Structure 1
Amino acid sequence: MHFVFMGVSGSGKTSVAERIAARLELPFAEADAFHPQANISKMSAGVPLTDEDRWPWLAELADWIAAHEVLGESTVMACSALRRSYRDVLRAGAPGVRFVHMHGTEEVIWERIEAREDHFMPPALLRSQLETLERLGPDEEGLELDVRGNLDELSRQALDYVAEQTRLSRQ
């Protein structure tokens, strides 16, 4: 199984995903690390990415999932995956891709972004991401977590979901 922790910048997806991957000793990918320098430069300058910027990046992430699927390894990834079409690309990497959507109000996310240090995504792009975001559809496998919870609580809920999905896939 492959678990993608998704949401806008500042939602806590990386913090929770890293905890889950470490706890379960699963390979972890931070999708931001896969961005080419051109994408990082655009975002650092406050310019939203276009779909044309995203497609090669998403394909590389799907390839990462596929490579681990071939090895028989489950994975954890932190990736914005804001639109269904982006999630479709990730799902093409392997069967069994599930999403954990870290969501919250603009105010809560804004506070989190402003408190962060050393991240290339400026707070000004939050509005663009929120406008782009498409929540999980009823036919998409996944879980939504309200980011108002603390990191321990969110991690516990995510771990429970991952464990349950993994158990169900073995039946």
Structure 2
Amino acid sequence: MKLSCVVLSLVLVHTASAGFRCTFGDWMCTAGCVMLGQTSGVCDENWTCHCSERSISVKDFRALLPSRCNLGDDFCKGTCQAMGRHSGVCDRYGCTCSDKFLSPTEFLLCAAESTCRTHCQAQGHATGVCLGWSCECKSSNAEASQALSELMSGLDQ
């Protein structure tokens, strides 16, 4: 429903004469031009809306948006993972999520560590540990501790 409203709005703005937009003032002219992908618009004395010739790029939009990196690297990574991505890093464009998506099984089992543990115990193992987004079933708590220490030492390098 929302998508159809947006498409309808774009069609109406595109098909509306430039003079029509100027009956509401410069703000409507600019809004119409922005919806058409231009940076701004201005009305002349004949109520004709003139859009700028400069197009808006994705980089321009990114520069206007606040960055999740202002809240830290962990927040960036966590929000990317909440959207189903493997990871996220802060770079010069702000928070950039990885292109690799989590599988439904990875997300289901490791969104909460307890889910992995319960899953493994239901299969007859002592416990389960999430190593990144991989749920590893372990036969003993000692084996689970060893796997976690190996993961931590790998992160330090």
TM-score bucket of the superposed structures, by smaller chain: under 0.3
**What TM-score do you get using the length of structure 1 for normalisation?**
0.22
**What TM-score do you get using the length of structure 2 for normalisation?**
0.23
